[in-house]
Structure 1
């Protein structure tokens, strides 16, 4: 603000001083010229700046403001682009750079065919015959519009409730890279991590410097949705005044499979559902479906609060934990289904087995039947052994008197033979 104020007041002061000069003729004119040179030096250089977008391959002319209309011209152009590592200086008397840029007779800079390498900054400094200096700054951005995007490998049919690849949208030959977007029935689609997934890839040609952009769309159509949705993609450079380019639409049909009956199972650990006091029981609700359903639990027919996990853990089981448990799986498209119920009970001490009505009654019944049969067979074998032993004892008792009689007869015979032997020995010769 201070510099601007000085620049505005100086012309009036100098003009008054010049007007007040009494020296006539050439001396007065010389003083007036010097005064105006002083004014211009106090004003400083006039600088103008502008952003320009130029299409690749087209002719571009940058005007040098303040350039003298008649030669010799006191001006120079400086440019800093991708073609130059440092500032490049061009002047009317200097070397020509005809293939890239050249200075026209009116001081303007001509670029016959703008390329990607010409993107950068251009500056012109011109000095008039009176010594006034003017600077012009240009920031040049180039662009190239590709042909319309195309959806390659489009799907002819989609399956409801499962992810499907709609196709790949491809745009070739753009600068800058730009962006691709998808539309469903005219509405913008974005990746949401659930029913819509977009995978993008950008490649740059090493020689031309132009970009190829492709985008792959994967969607999960909802059951009961539109039978033939309309998909399209569009390309945008992101520059002001450039409208998006739209591809031809595709309309795949949507096939909805018949719903498969789902069977919800409840797995218990331990399998019998019988646990000692203070033990642990794990119940797992198995619901085969994608995405997983929402699960809640019931005990004795009453919902358990704040339990939405497929696994129910009963730790340090107490008598109040006994009861009949089941799980309910709620599907977004199949409604709710309940699992078969299981019974959880505590093993009571002092009894040979668990209480009746526990999980696995059929298995326990089979085990009891087997034990009963084995017990019966053991009892029968024991009875047969006792009967055979008793019979043997009776036979031995019957044989004992007979053996006694025989022994008595043998004893009598021995006694009768002894006297006869004695008499024989006494009669001798």
Structure 2
């Protein structure tokens, strides 16, 4: 716990006190090893001190570094802006100006082997996280509404992409943002440009293009922050960095990897000549298919029309009508023959009935006598024993009937009995 009294508006600390306390705390940090990228070198002849600006490659943070000028000049490889270095330094607070810097006593350049080893470790890390997986890559639109291009100012990559894309599709719309493509300022500028284009609703695909270069020149495109920003972008990203052998980590994270900027222009927009030829080809194929279908249907209709049922549609009806008339006439004759036969049979039966019936017999002078039985029904008189004297009789003759009364009964044995009948009215 500090024994210093707390400050207040009535008892403030002077600036020198605050500066001294800050300096005390900073001086307690001791010496540290710091890695960064050199963004500025100021080593003027005749001076004893060199001034460097050291920047964090993954963040927009930088610090000033001072060192003896001989320390810079004695390096095996001359120190240049953009180089990666490891500095052994002690944080120093300048009391008079109130500034913080690092006082270096050793400087080591990070070699190519170390850089490649770090890139390989980062490659394995990103691959393990799934940033290289094919299933997360988004398809590139067939004909983008707008194309964002991030590249160096007036660079050959910019000319290649614009010229080849416009030659393939003259109406293509580009939104170009020029940034540094190597050195310490490359990653922050590319990140800002990427964020701007990703938020633009008129941009359907973003191209990061750069020409070839050394491993150190292409280091920004293997930066972890840039790779993660590309993976998190909502717009499809096309990587067109360097030449065919160059494969920075951005190529694995991007949705489409192109070997060169020229190849990128061929992959992001279609060729109007090829598409026009394809349209003409498809139109010709459609025309031939339609003509073939029409010809086939025409032949089918001709075949249908040439069939007898369609060539002479009333002929079969007429023939069927004649058949119907023939069968109807046959049916009529058969029916008349059957009726004539039946009529003949009926006439014969009638003749037999007439000949055998009582009417014919009565027509020859015979009569049929009937009497009323006990139930009141008329019965044919067949024997004299069926009636008694005084019985009421009905005598039927050929043309009518006579009512009579039996006065006496005479048997056929020859006994004579006086008979007297009373003749009644004919019905």
Does the alignment reach a TM-score above 0.5? Answer: no
Higher helix residue share? 2
Higher strand residue share? 1
Q: Which entry has the higher C-alpha Rg, 1 or 2? A: 2
